[in-house]
């Protein structure tokens, strides 16, 4: 895999603008060859940075977007921990994206995370698989955050899910970051994407960003994202994180 491309911006506002332009370029490239733009998004601090500038852009083809969650906390969709809710607050509710294009987790099965994961995988299969069977979906873009321990999605250091080579969506009930029950995309799905972009902004990400960029061999979960060629990994950061 080619080395990651690092984009750095003076401050969070500039980062939001740069990220919006990047997402739009990915959208345009996808729509040149197919009818939809397939995107997966995480939660945490990402939705705010993503939404800030993107909601004001005029060249977004919202009705062509198919959105999945790179990971989701298994809570009701209106719970404050929900990654759907964070994205809804900062993005979905502010733009004309058809609700049926947003692939939410099934809240009727919250007490059965295995079923939630299976059901989510089925939604993904229905979106990605035409008449041909495929081993893994190929997202046009996956937008991810990074935790202070180097986790990304809900793939945590030392967790057995780091070895998952088979499924598209997995569940865990022992997340070290609460809430403990989550579903997450697996590494093979991340690694089959056309583009994976990590967003790390602010002083709190300084230490882990340096570790991720300078010691890729240290085996942090974020460094295990090695996108299959011709895909590419990107890092979006700001001066506060890069100092
Ligand atoms: C989650 C996220 C997770 C997040 C990182 C960074 O559900 O918690 O999807 O993977 O991206 O933990 O979180 P922050 O952006 O809030 O620091």
Task: Give the per-residue pLDDT at 2.
Answer: 81
Provide the total of helices (H) and of strands (E) in the chain, helices listed first: 7, 9
| Dist. CA 149 → ligand 1 center (Å) | 11
Burial degree of 180 (CB within 10 A; 0-12, 13-18, 19+): middle
- Using the atom order of ligand 1, give the atom closest to the CA of residue 199: 15
pLDDT above 70 for 231: yes
| Dist. CA 34 → ligand 1 center (Å) | 30
pLDDT above 80 for 18: yes
Share of the chain above pLDDT 70, in %: 99
Task: Give the per-residue pLDDT at 173.
Answer: 97
**Mean pLDDT throughout 81-87?**
97
Instruction: Label residue 132 by pLDDT band (50, 70, 90).
Output: low
Task: Give the per-residue pLDDT at 134.
Answer: 81
* Mutation choice for ligand 1 from 19, 44, 143, 236, CB with most ligand atoms inside 8 A: 44
**Mean pLDDT throughout 12-40?**
97
| Dist. CA 66 → ligand 1 center (Å) | 21
Task: Give the per-residue pLDDT at 131.
Answer: 58
Residue 188: both structure tokens together = 């093979």
| Dist. CA 150 → ligand 1 center (Å) | 10
| Dist. CA 70 → ligand 1 center (Å) | 10
φ, ψ at 170 (rounded to 5°): -125, 165
| Dist. CA 27 → ligand 1 center (Å) | 24
Instruction: Label residue 180 by pLDDT band (50, 70, 90).
Output: very high
- Using the atom order of ligand 1, give the atom closest to the CA of residue 152: 10
- The C-alpha angle with vertex 134 and arms to 66 and 5, in degrees rounded to 5, equals 60
Tell me: ipTM over 0.85. yes
E strand segments, 52-144? 65-69, 71-73, 141-144
The Cα-based distances of 73 to 163, 171, 212, 234 in angstroms read 21, 10, 24, 25
**Mean pLDDT throughout 198-218?**
96
With tokens 């969070």, the residue in question is 12
**Mean pLDDT throughout 207-211?**
97
pLDDT above 90 for 133: no
Task: Give the per-residue pLDDT at 1.
Answer: 73
Q: Where are the alpha helices (DSSP H) in the chain?
A: 12-33, 46-54, 83-90, 113-128, 187-191, 206-214, 239-242
Instruction: Label residue 240 by pLDDT band (50, 70, 90).
Output: very high
| Ligand 1 site residues, Cβ closer than 6 angstroms | 42-46, 71, 73, 83, 145-147, 152-154, 177
CA 80, 68, 186, 146 torsion: positive or negative? negative
Dist CA 117 CA 185 (whole Å): 9
Task: Give the per-residue pLDDT at 95.
Answer: 98
Instruction: Label residue 107 by pLDDT band (50, 70, 90).
Output: confident
**Mean pLDDT throughout 230-242?**
96
Please give the mean pLDDT across all residues of the chain: 96
**Mean pLDDT throughout 107-115?**
94
* Mutation choice for ligand 1 from 72, 146, 183, CB with most ligand atoms inside 8 A: 146
- The C-alpha angle with vertex 40 and arms to 10 and 215, in degrees rounded to 5, equals 55
Does the model's pTM come out above 0.90?
yes
Task: Give the per-residue pLDDT at 129.
Answer: 85
- The domain locations on the chain are 9-213+235-242
pLDDT above 90 for 130: no
**CATH class for domain 9-213+235-242?**
alpha beta
């Amino acid at each position: 895999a080619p080395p990651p491309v690092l984009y750095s911006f003076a401050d969070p506002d500039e980062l939001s603008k740069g990220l919006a332009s990047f997402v739009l370029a990915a959208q345009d490239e996808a729509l040149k060859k197919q009818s939809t733009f397939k995107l997966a998004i995480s939660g945490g601090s990402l939705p705010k940075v993503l939404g800030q500038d993107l909601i004001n852009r005029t060249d977004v083809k919202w009705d062509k977007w198919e959105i999945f969650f790179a990971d989701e906390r298994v809570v009701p969709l209106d719970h404050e921990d929900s990654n759907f809710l964070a994205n809804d607050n900062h993005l979905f509710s502010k733009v004309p994206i058809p609700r049926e294009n947003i692939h939410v987790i099934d809240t009727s099965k919250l007490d059965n995370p295995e079923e939630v994961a299976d059901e989510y995988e089925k939604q993904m299969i229905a979106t990605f698989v035409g008449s041909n069977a495929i081993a893994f979906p190929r997202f046009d873009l996956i937008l991810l955050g990074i935790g202070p321990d180097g986790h990304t999605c809900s793939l945590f250091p030392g967790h057995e899910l780091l070895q998952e080579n088979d499924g598209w969506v997995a569940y865990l009930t022992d997340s070290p970051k609460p809430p403990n029950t989550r579903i997450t995309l697996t590494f093979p799905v991340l690694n089959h994407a056309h583009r994976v972009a990590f967003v790390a902004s602010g002083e709190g990400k300084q230490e882990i960003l340096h570790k991720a960029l300078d010691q890729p061999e240290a085996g942090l979960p974020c460094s295990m994202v090695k996108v299959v060629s011709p895909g590419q990994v990107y890092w979006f950061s700001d001066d506060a994180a890069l100092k």
